[in-house]
Structure formats: structure tokens, C-alpha cells
Chain A
Amino acid sequence: MTERPSDHRVALEPESRRAVVDPHERDIREAVDATRRGNRTAFARLVQLYERRLFSLSVMMTRDRSGAEEVTQDAFVRAFVHLDAYDERRPFYPWLATIAVRLAQNWLTQRTRISRRDGSQLQPEFDTASATVDPLSELIADESDRRLWQTVAALPYGERTTVILYYRQDMAVRDIARAMGVTGGTVKTMLFRARQRLRHTVRDTRSGKERT
């Protein structure tokens, strides 16, 4: 049965995802308030809570370990500097992830420019890092999972980002749209296209698992 975008849109955005409650909400609020009052060390709690998740996002976005470290650090520092702009009525992580996504985008653009200037092989926009060794692939033990991740990593920038933010970072379509500076409809369309492209790999992954 062929999939239509409308089916896909209905299947997307389950009710539970629309109201994701951060289990550390109280901690976050306290840390944000204390930081705003001038207690810098209180920000360490936020770094501790989201360091791993944000680094994982940055690795998936940049596919470069040192680039991911740079993006993660910059995202935290920028979040600290602009903490007054954070709206406490919204969850903290999507706001932080938005900063990281934009920094990762800048990092990839910069990397593309450098590789073009240096005369290395031209890569599609934002895909320069695909030429390097993917740090996440090295960590995936299961062969079919690794193949699926590599297929995700090879997606065009927009589709890759939406898949990572939606399926891996559990972000709502509305938050993804805000992070990427597009409409919710565009996010849904990109997710639909990504799923179309990933269809065969997912099927292979499933059949491979059934065989084992």
C-alpha cells in the first residue's frame, strides 16, 4: 500500500509528544532563576543535565567529533548569554537544541566553504562531513542499525535534521519548525520524504533482524 502525505501527517505527532514534560523541570527552573540572579555556577546544573543529549545531537548533525564539541560548547555559552530571552513557559531543551541546530548549520556551512576554498572535492551543501569518518557509526554494534544510521546520515540536510530531531531527540514538530526556521508543514513534508527514502533500508533492517 502506498503512503500518502496526509496519512503520514496523521500518523505523526502523537498526543504524548505534544506535551512532553521534562522530568527535571523543577531543577531547570531553579537553575535558570539562580543564573538570572547572577549565580553563574547554577548554570552548571543545566550543562550537567543536557551535556550528553546535546553532544549526541551535535555529533549527529556535524558527524564530526571535534565539530560536535565546538558546537556543544558554543550552544551552552550562547544559552547562558541569552538566558534572559528564554521563555520559562516553554520547555528548556527545545530552546537549547534550537541554538545547537543553528550553530551546527553554521559549522557545516563554514566547513563547506573551507573545503571549496582548499580545492577539495565539492560536496553538496551541508554535507562536507559525510566524507569524514562518522563517529556514531563506530559506536553502533549492530550491522543493520549501522546501515540505517548511515542512510539517515546521507539524507539531505533538512531531512536529516528533521529525522534526528523528531525520532532521536523526541522534539515536537512545532519545536523542530522553530529550530529550523520553517513552518510545521515543511517539517512534516521533510519527514515524509525522509521516510520515503529510508523505506528500503528500514525494510532490510527489519528482515535482517527477523532472520537472526
Chain B
Amino acid sequence: MIDELASTMTRLPDPAPPAPLAANVMARIARLPDERSLVTPAEMAAVNAESTGRERLAWGGGLAGVGIAFGTYVYGELAAGTLPDLISSRIGHGPLVTMPIEPGMLVLGLGLLLYLKGLFTPLRRAAHIEHSSGGLRR
């Protein structure tokens, strides 16, 4: 029975497709936005490499900012001689010493700025990619 069904199904005629079917398909394809030819794999790799480099720079900047801020704080505390004694039981009972306002504060501010820049870089990059792909679609 399998053979009979198979042979009958094989014998069935193939309806001829409408003459303009292939032309219509190719016309529709021609009207599609040209994403493939605009971005070649090599270009995409270059964009990715550039993005990775920018990302590393931002991370480095952020970490440097944190390092500078921490270093400035520790330096200020050391200079004022008020570094808390972490071992003694008097933590929290000593006099409150604020960091003196001096050029070190500027460095601290700069470090914070670098940190914030690094913090928001991924968002700006996402916005950049979105903008780029939107541009390609058009």
C-alpha cells in the first residue's frame, strides 16, 4: 500500500507557477532595504573592533578615576594624620576630620567625572548602535 500511495503521489502533476512569479519575487527583493550590501562583514568587524577599543578606554578611564579618588582621599587622610585606626576599638568615637580643601579636591572631582563618564558609556554606545541601524534601514 505504501508503494501505491507513493507512486500515485509521485504521478500527480506539478501545477505550473504563474509566469511572472520569479520576476515578482525578484522585484520584491530589489525593493527591500539594502542592508547586506551597505554593511559588509569586514566593515562590521571594524565597527566592532572600534567599539571594543572605545569600551576599554571608558573602563580604563572609570577605573583610573576611582583610583585617583581613592588615592587622593588616602593621601589627604595621611597628610592630616587622621587615618582611622581600623584595628583599635575606638572606631567611630574619634574626632570627625573633614578632608582639607586643596588641589587634591580638584583631582578628586576629576576622578569622579571620569568615573561617571565610564558609567554612562554603555548607554551612549547602545544609542549609537540604534542610531546606526536606523540609518541603515532608511
Which one of B5, B18, B32, B37 lies within 8 Å of A198 (CB-CB)?
B5
Of all chain B residues, which has the CB nearest A164? B9
Query: Given A69-B21, A73-B21, A73-B28, does the pair A11, B2 have CB atoms closer than 8 Å?
Result: yes
Q: Which residues of B contact A (CB under 8 A)?
A: 1-2, 4-6, 8-18, 21-22, 24-26, 28-30, 32, 34, 36-37, 40
Interface residues on A, range: 35 or more
B30/A40 in contact, CB under 8 A? yes
Which of B14, B16, B37 is packed against the most chain A CB atoms within 10 Å?
B14
Chain A residues near B30 (CB, 8 Å)?
40
Query: Given A11-B2, A47-B25, does the pair A52, B36 have CB atoms closer than 8 Å?
Result: no
A43/B5 in contact, CB under 8 A? no
A202/B17 in contact, CB under 8 A? no
5 A/B residue pairs, CB under 8 Å, sorted by A? A55-B14, A65-B15, A72-B17, A149-B8, A168-B12
Chain B residues near A205 (CB, 8 Å)?
4, 8
A148/B2 in contact, CB under 8 A? no
Of all chain A residues, which has the CB nearest B17? A55
CB distance from A190 to the nearest CB of B (A): 14
Query: Given A69-B17, A195-B5, A199-B1, does the pair A47, B12 have CB atoms closer than 8 Å?
Result: no
> A124 at interface (Cβ–Cβ under 8 A)?
no
Within 8 A of B (CB), among A33-58: 35-38, 40-41, 43-44, 47-48, 51-53, 55-56
Of all chain B residues, which has the CB nearest A196? B1
A136/B12 in contact, CB under 8 A? yes
